[in-house]
Structure 1
Amino acid sequence: MKDTKELTIMKFGQQDLINMDKQMCFALYNANKQFNHFYSEVLEQFNLTYPQYLVLSSLWDNNDAMTVRQLGQVARLDGGTLTPLLKRLENHGWVVRSKDPNDNRHVLISLSTYAIEQKCDIVNLIQTKLNHLNMTDQEYRERVQEVNDISHRLEQILTTF
């Protein structure tokens, strides 16, 4: 038997579901805006945007070249966003494009030497700024896991209906 949990207006009260400050969607939307602003301030020192950082972070995590499609899947960026973004990263010396030796139809994206050298500086600055959240490592990991769980549940709902 499946254990299901339900939210009802009766439990929360109709007003709680109407007030923006009590809605999860607004809380996540607002937190997203704040994080985008937070990262923008940090990344502007490196002349990077947040989506560009996501691509670099995906490549740093992978430790190897990735196809454009793989990058899009990992960073959750569509082709219309990713293609010009990669071109700008390449023009600024962050990434290198090359043909996939196994399949000439695919382009591989890899980190430039410059991007590898800048990783520590970027990560250290982000870490320094994140310390102002005044969270322990465990609290931080738990919050990330909670948001990932919500995202996963929403993804399941959207693919079901």
Structure 2
Amino acid sequence: MTIAPSTSDTCEQLLLDNQVCFALHSTSLLLTKVYKPLLQKLRLTYPQYLAMLVLWERDGRTVSEISQRLLTDPGSLTPLLKRLEAEGLLSRTRSREDERVVIVQLTEQGRALKVQAREIPQCILGASGRTVEQLRRLQEELQVLRGHLQDNL
């Protein structure tokens, strides 16, 4: 004889607040809202900020390297990079060895923006209500989760 799960068990598993995906999604939305006024001072959107972070780590990356680092599609990254180029923050040039490869480099203005962005992590820390250690542990747990999810794609 097969015992069917009770209605309450099934419904409990499907409650929105019991979903890890919703906890991550809603937190991400709120975190982006906290970033918004900070980034407006720099005239950057959140996705543009992420691209700038990658270039501030190491300048002269290819579009492919940036998209891999951001876990995004190179095609969706290109319009974002074009806007940053139009703002004078970076330049895009085709590789001499392989014209399919586009190399992205910060301009002087793009490098100078890094100095203005230095206050942002401290502002996010303050808004989080967490300690540096607590956020680092959370970040490590999320990176492990991300790795497992990537492995299961």
TM-score normalised over the length of structure 1:
0.82
Question: Could you say which residue in structure 1 is the equivalent of 2:50?
Answer: 54
Contact 1:42–1:126 (8 Å) recurs in 2:
no
Contact 2:35–2:124 (8 Å) recurs in 1:
no
Q: Percent identity?
A: 31
Tell me the SS of whatever aligns to 2:100: strand
Contact 2:42–2:116 (8 Å) recurs in 1:
no
1:111 aligns with 2:106: yes
Contact 2:60–2:104 (8 Å) recurs in 1:
yes
Question: Could you say which residue in structure 2 is the equivalent of 1:21?
Answer: 17
Structure 2 unaligned segments of length 5 or more: list them. none
1:36 pairs with one of 32, 35, 52: 32
- RMSD over equivalenced CA pairs, Å: 2.0
* Count of matched residue positions in the alignment of Structure 1 and Structure 2: 147
Question: Could you say which residue in structure 2 is the equivalent of 1:6?
Answer: none
Question: Could you say which residue in structure 2 is the equivalent of 1:99?
Answer: 94
Shift, 1:15, TM fit? 4.2
TM-score normalised over the length of structure 2:
0.85
Distance 1:99 1:49 in 2: 25
Q: Which amino acid aligns with 2:38?
A: V
1:136 aligns with 2:134: no
2:41 pairs with one of 45, 49, 54: 45
